[in-house]
Copies of this chain bind each other. A is one copy, B any other.
Amino acid sequence: MTLPHLDGSGRPTLRTVAALAGVHVSTASRALTQTPPAGARAASKDTIARIQRVATEIGFERNPHGAGLRTSRSHLVGVLVPRLTDVVLSTIYEGIDERARELGYQAFVVNGRDVADQRWAALEMLLARRVDGLIIGDARLADDDLVDSLVARHVPFVLTNRHAGDHPAVTCDDYAGGVLAAEHLLELGHTDVAVLAGQPYASTGHERSAGFAATYAAAGHPVPGHRILHSAFDVAGGRVATTALLAQHGPPPSAVFVVNDFAAIGAIGAAAAHGLRVGDNIAIVGYNDIPIAAELPVPLTSVASPMHDMGARSIELLLQVLAGETVAPERLAPTLSARESTTASSVTAHRAPQIQPRPAN
């Protein structure tokens, strides 16, 4: 019975540590688990210190397979996103990853591509890996059988980015964001507006448009149905929808609220192709305030959502769920970043003299 690492072979294990510290492997285990409740049951202060010193000296790292096998906890949380190449999702993920690590967990992300088959496959993979819980970034508004199945299977989870039903969720207060956008455009005097509302199954686009439309209706300028179009959450989707919008008979709207910055960039392109100059004779408001928004040739006014914080907060909520607590959905407040795509408009400027100052960043 040789010891790993002592004979130069393989990694050190608990046995190695125990032998070097002259204690039993179980004692070593207790000394190295930081949980204070079990710590009371453990060894003397001296022994603990000695074991810990040995452990760090020989670079012992607990084998998660052994531990996971015994405890059936992996300290892994699965994250299901609709797309990782979307900076919104990858920023949320960064928030999750960072905070999870601080809390002793690790985030394991998979890509569901917002497609039924792939979502299921990705989910099964995560469960097969025995994640302790899930953060779902691609929930669907109605009849999301994947989310339902999690409930049925008693898998702990938290929704983020999009919410659904009254499941635990951390999202941006998208309705309020829509209100912000509407108030901004109303202040600038726009009464003839349109909305690119995103995919109908995503709560994000749905609520953003709802807040926007409600505010306009309350101001006495209800947005007509043909001026509310669905679109994909990417550049191409925004371009296609805007092209369709501008092809409608009658004069084009003086402002468009696009529920996603990428789609807004597509809208800008389509508007330009149609001979319109953004910030000059058409105003555009995006959503999320991704880093590139401020850097566009005509900087884009956008409703900023706290993506990073959403991620961080969702892992915190998940840990509460894992601890058996019941948690309520949370909505984080958005803010408006007004820029030239609305405020520099000569058209709108003479409609309403008060112009929002551009924030420093």
CA distance A272 to B65 in the complex (A): 56
Distance in angstroms from A326 CB to nearest chain B CB is 23
* Of A62, A65, A66, most B-chain CB atoms within 10 Å: A65
Selected interface stretch from A88-96, A172-180, A182-190, A211-219: A88-96
For residue A336, CB closer than 8 A to chain B, the reply is: no
Nearest B residue to A113, CB-CB: B94
Q: Count of chain A residues with Cβ under 8 Å from any Cβ of B?
A: 44
CB neighbours (8 Å) of A61 from chain B are 124, 127-128
CA distance A271 to B101 in the complex (A): 41
For residue A110, CB closer than 8 A to chain B, the reply is: yes
CB within 8 A of A90: which of B85, B124, B235?
B85
For residue A58, CB closer than 8 A to chain B, the reply is: no
For residue A199, CB closer than 8 A to chain B, the reply is: no
CA distance A87 to B235 in the complex (A): 14
For residue A266, CB closer than 8 A to chain B, the reply is: yes
Tell me which residues from 81 to 140 in chain A have a Cβ below 8 Å from any Cβ of chain B.
84-85, 87, 90-91, 93-94, 97, 101, 106, 108-111, 124-125, 127-130
Q: Is the interface of A mostly helix, strand, loop or mixed?
A: helix
CB neighbours (8 Å) of A295 from chain B are 235, 239, 265-266, 269
CB within 8 A of A65: which of B91, B93, B130?
B130
Nearest B residue to A88, CB-CB: B85
CB within 8 A of A87: which of B87, B268, B272?
B87
Query: B297–A272 contact, CB under 8 A?
Result: yes
CB neighbours (8 Å) of A90 from chain B are 84-85, 90
CA distance A296 to B101 in the complex (A): 37
For residue A298, CB closer than 8 A to chain B, the reply is: yes
CA distance A129 to B75 in the complex (A): 11
For residue A69, CB closer than 8 A to chain B, the reply is: yes
Distance in angstroms from A205 CB to nearest chain B CB is 20
CB neighbours (8 Å) of A124 from chain B are 61
For residue A292, CB closer than 8 A to chain B, the reply is: yes
CB neighbours (8 Å) of A235 from chain B are 291-292, 295
CB neighbours (8 Å) of A63 from chain B are 69, 130
CA distance A50 to B106 in the complex (A): 38
Chain B proximity mask over A124-165: 1 for CB below 8 Å, otherwise 0 = 110111100000000000000000000000000000000000
For residue A243, CB closer than 8 A to chain B, the reply is: no
Query: A84–B94 contact, CB under 8 A?
Result: yes
For residue A64, CB closer than 8 A to chain B, the reply is: yes
7 closest residue pairs by CB, A with B: A65-B68, A65-B69, A61-B128, A85-B90, A65-B65, A235-B295, A84-B90
A contact set with B: CB distance below 8 Å: 61-66, 68-69, 74, 84-85, 87, 90-91, 93-94, 97, 101, 106, 108-111, 124-125, 127-130, 234-235, 239, 262, 265-266, 268-269, 272, 291-292, 295-298
Contacts A/B (CB < 8 Å), 21 sampled:
A61-B124, A61-B127, A62-B128, A63-B69, A64-B130, A65-B66, A65-B68, A65-B74, A66-B69, A69-B69, A84-B84, A85-B87, A85-B91, A106-B125, A108-B108, A109-B109, A235-B292, A265-B292, A268-B297, A269-B295, A296-B296
